[in-house]
Amino acid sequence: MAATPIILDCDPGIDDAIAILLALASPEVELLAITTVVGNTSLANATQNALNVLAWAGREDIPVAAGESVAIGPPNDIPWNDAIGVHGETGLDGAELPRAASAIVDEHAVDLIARTVLARPGEITLVATGPLTNVALLLERHPDVAPALRDLVIMGGSLAGGNMSEYAEFNIWCDATAAAQVLDAGLEPVVVGLDVTRQATLSEADVHALEELPVLGPGIHGMLLFYLQKHREWHGKNAVQQHDSLALSWVIDPTLLVLRPLALGVDASDGPARGETYVSDQPAAAVTVRWAIDLHAARFRELLLERLAALAAAR
């Protein structure tokens, strides 16, 4: 079966970095480009981290384009201040990756995505694992892109309580205005929220075993051990959630997730519930998303560990 060409819009960020490695390791996907957005860390850090992860994996051939450094809507300041506690000062704390010699392409993320998608209408899936600022601007500045996308997959939202606030999941919280625009664009994206990603975990033993992988093992171990410690501190859990890899895994093996069409609302106010996602109670509300209601957690974990090992062995 031919590989699905994807563009990954992300905010690396430790779980974004693991998702990049999973994409590189999976023959079911062809990673055409990475675009970056402010979220887990500053845009500058996220962009350098994307370059460093690709170089570390021997894939400097994959272009990286920087996107937006500030959200469209409130909070408008740089929300990454709030994420330093999770991904660290660099956005990839725990791993000392060599600084890539490669540079970003001289094109805004939104324009790279539009140019690439319009050149291959119906073929390319956009996977968004950070705040939706770039995606919203893409749909606004290039309205012809929406019908040309093969699919849109989003890591974001929650119907089971937030991780950034009582109500909101981080990616949606960072730019709820952008999220509302994207969810209202009629694309019916696959949306993979905390309801399932909280169960998509690697154990402490998994994290330590990864250290033994060749070349990539120490770096993967370092970043995941840092992230695991934050899970212990923030969630009291001794397992590390792989939010972004689970979203990507739907492109690799759609049977890993159970989806349900529903009308997903988002609170785009600047109030305490900003970023909350909920099932719309409007009578006859139009379906807006394919929401992930369940996952095959054991098969996902096996896939991720197997693919990381294969990528490391090939380095």
Count of helix runs (H) and strand runs (E) in the chain: 12, 12
Count other Cβ atoms within 10 Å, centred on residue 49. Answer: 30
- Asked whether position 16 contacts Ca ion by CB under 5 A, the answer is yes
Residue 198 interacting entry, from ligand RIB, Ca ion, none, C-beta within 5 to 8 Å by type = none
Least separation in angstroms between CB 16 and ligand RIB: 5
Active-site residue 87, yes or no?
A: no
DSSP string, 17-59: HHHHHHHHH-TTEEEEEEEE-SSSS-HHHHHHHHHHHHHHTT-
Count other Cβ atoms within 10 Å, centred on residue 121. Answer: 13
Rounded Cα distance between 137 and 153, Å, is: 16
The neighbouring-strand residues paired with 258 are: 294
Residues touching Ca ion: how many (CB under 5 A)?
6
Rounded Cα distance between 248 and 199, Å, is: 15
Least separation in angstroms between CB 230 and Ca ion: 14
- Asked whether position 39 contacts ligand RIB by CB under 6 A, the answer is yes
The neighbouring-strand residues paired with 34 are: 8, 64
Residue 170 interacting entry, from ligand RIB, Ca ion, none, C-beta within 5 to 8 Å by type = ligand RIB
- Asked whether position 170 contacts ligand RIB by CB under 6 A, the answer is yes
For residues 243 to 282, the per-residue mask of contacts with ligand RIB, x marking binding by CB under 6 A and - elsewhere, is xx--------------------------------------
Question: Cβ closer to ligand RIB: 47 or 171?
Answer: 171
- Residues labelled catalytic: 243
Binding residues for ligand RIB, per CB under 6 A?
11, 13, 15-16, 39-40, 129-130, 155, 163, 169-171, 243-244
